[in-house]
Amino acid sequence: MNDKLGIMEIIDRPPVPPANSVQPARAALVKRTTLETDVTASLNLDGVGTCKASTGIPFLDHMLQQIASHGLIDLDVQAIGDLAIDDHHTNEDVGITLGQALAKAVGDRSGISRFGHFIAPLDEALIEVVLDFSGRPHLSYSLEIPNQRIGTYDTELVREFFSAVVNHTQMTLHIRQLQGGNSHHIVEAAFKAFARALRMAVEIDPRRASGIPSSKGVL
Ligand SMILES: [Mn+2]
């Protein structure tokens, strides 16, 4: 140690966090009511994965739990819909409301990593999800789900759900089936991969500070 230069003192000093370093919670609440459904979605992107999902569609609740748990998003989705007709309106409106809540929580998208990708296995199923908080809605979807129903859930509704999320989050989403045989496995792996990709995309990039992650300067 060179006392004259005070080198040890400099090296030993812990970094002092700036006074405003505590980020506000990236949370949002959206309530959406139509003649068909009444949906409330609240979320915190910087959560720990807690989930309260009550949509009246048990399999959809199970999938929302995947988004929360693997996305580390605290999620509360409550829906009352016209299930006496079928699950279509409620499924779609949950997707719309969740998409709006995601868009609200990321705000102008400053500081986020923007891109996310993950490949999730579930036994024989292997599903790849790539997404971009691009500000433009696009869905590419190649799940081949062999059964028409999982429990009471019509498997056609998986695409409808993601389409609603994409349109209202304004994101680009590619969901690609690499392998798969069991319908429940295929869909659940897709939601798990989506959750992890989502987590990656909305993560704050500390090197980006508060800048918008686009060469255009806007997303
Ligand atoms: Mn399952």
pLDDT tens by residue, 30-45: 999 999 999 999 999 9
Using one digit for the tens of pLDDT, what is the confidence trace for 172-185? 999 999 999 999 99
CA of 188 to the centre of ligand 1 (A): 6
Are 117 and 145 within 8 A, CB to CB?
A: no
How many CB atoms are closer than 10 A to CB 108? 11
The answer on pLDDT for 25 being more than 80 is no
CA of 189 to the centre of ligand 1 (A): 9
CA of 184 to the centre of ligand 1 (A): 6
CA of 29 to the centre of ligand 1 (A): 27
Query: How far is Cα 167 from Cα 169, in angstroms, rounded to an integer?
Result: 6
The answer on pLDDT for 209 being more than 90 is no
Q: Is the dihedral of CA 110, 115, 62, 153 positive or negative?
A: positive
Query: How far is Cα 42 from Cα 31, in angstroms, rounded to an integer?
Result: 9
The answer on pLDDT for 65 being more than 70 is yes
Q: What global pTM score does this model have? A: 0.89
Compute the mean pLDDT over every residue in the chain, rounded to the nearest whole number: 92
CA of 15 to the centre of ligand 1 (A): 45
pLDDT confidence bin for 2, thresholds 50/70/90? very low
